[in-house]
Amino acid sequence: MPPPSKPQPRKRDKGELQNTQDQFFNTQLSFWQDRINSSQSAINMAHNHYNNIFLNSTPPSLTKAVFVKVLITLTVAAVPEFGPAILLFRALNNEKENFAKMAGALADTLKDGREQLNETQNQIDDGKKQLAQDNVSVEFFGDLYMKLCRLSNYVTNFKAALTSYMDLTDDSFVTATAKAHKMWMAAGLLTGPGTVKADQLSLLFLYDIMRAYTKLNVSLVSPPGVITPGSSHNSRDSAMALMKQGVDIEFEGLDPAQRKAMYLKFKGITWIDPTRPRILAPPDGNGWKDLLKYWEFKED
């Protein structure tokens, strides 16, 4: 008897292949949008946390604080669970280069590729209007928030450009698919699943807001009678020395009730990032002593 023949794989028609490609690009887009949306949610949550700490007073403005540099890339690089966030914020930190990559990837195939990406500016302007309508205050994160908006629109427009190309090109389907995949990868957009944990990210943002706030606005004060009859501002080193002698140090600009509210928020942090030392109230931490030990303060 002749050996049984191997079953041959069913040949898929063009429609099935087209659906597969649509699913690929839709999934890629959803990965990016999920991370971007979660990060924007984290910004809004962090701002609400910040307002709650100063519930009985006007939250200080932090518009002068330098915040969006290489924040996430550096501070969560050693934390595996923030892998998706690292990829996202690395893209933000190289925004101009990434835009050039996208435009270049489209240039050989789509004459209007750059124009389609440049439509992003109009979408950003619309986004700013919507932001104002929603009364969402993101002053400390303004640059970061708008970078996320731009990235969202870049990725959306890039995917739309590829879809238009595959629908309208005279190339064979196999050739068009290969070119589309090559462009997506050349633009640096190939990514996998992974969710940005908005609740944890919001608390890390809050930590950085409060650390920046204390550096800009909080002075260290020793009680009357320790150095002078009245309260006296101290350098961090002199305050540390007084603390070791058993002297309580006050934080002018961040009162005990505000510190308590801050510690309560920080209890939700998973302390696995060494660049953010643990700051908690007793019995879980040393409260103001850790604050004095690890953070910086306003120098008079």
Helix (H, G, I), strand (E, B) or coil at 287: coil
Burial class (CB in 10 A: 0-12, 13-18, 19+), 60: middle
Give the position of tokens 């908005």: 198
Rounded to whole angstroms, the Cα distance separating 203 from 266 reads: 7
pLDDT given for residue 216 in this prediction? 82
Report whether 189 contacts 151 (CB < 8 A): no
Q: Say how many C-beta atoms besides its own lie within 10 A of residue 293's C-beta.
A: 13
CA distance 25 to 31: 10
> What phi and psi values does residue 277 have, to the nearest 5 degrees?
-60, 150
Strand partners, 221: 233, 250
pTM: 0.80
Q: Which tens digit of pLDDT belongs to each residue from 65-92? A: 555 444 554 456 556 677 787 778 878 8
Which of 144-153, 179-188, 199-208 has the weakest average pLDDT? 144-153
Tell how far CA 24 is from the center of its chain.
Answer: 25
Give the pLDDT of residue 12: 47
The full set of domain ranges for the chain reads: 15-186, 198-294
Average pLDDT over residues 197-206: 89
Tell me the per-residue pLDDT of 251-297, one tens digit each, with 9 for 90 and over. 999 999 999 999 999 999 988 878 889 999 999 999 999 999 999 99
Size (the chain), residues? 300
Of 130-144, 169-183, 285-299, where does mean pLDDT reach its minimum? 130-144
Which residue, among 35, 66, 30, 47, has the nearest Cα to 134 in the 3D structure? 47
Q: Which two tokens stand for residue 184?
A: 């997506």
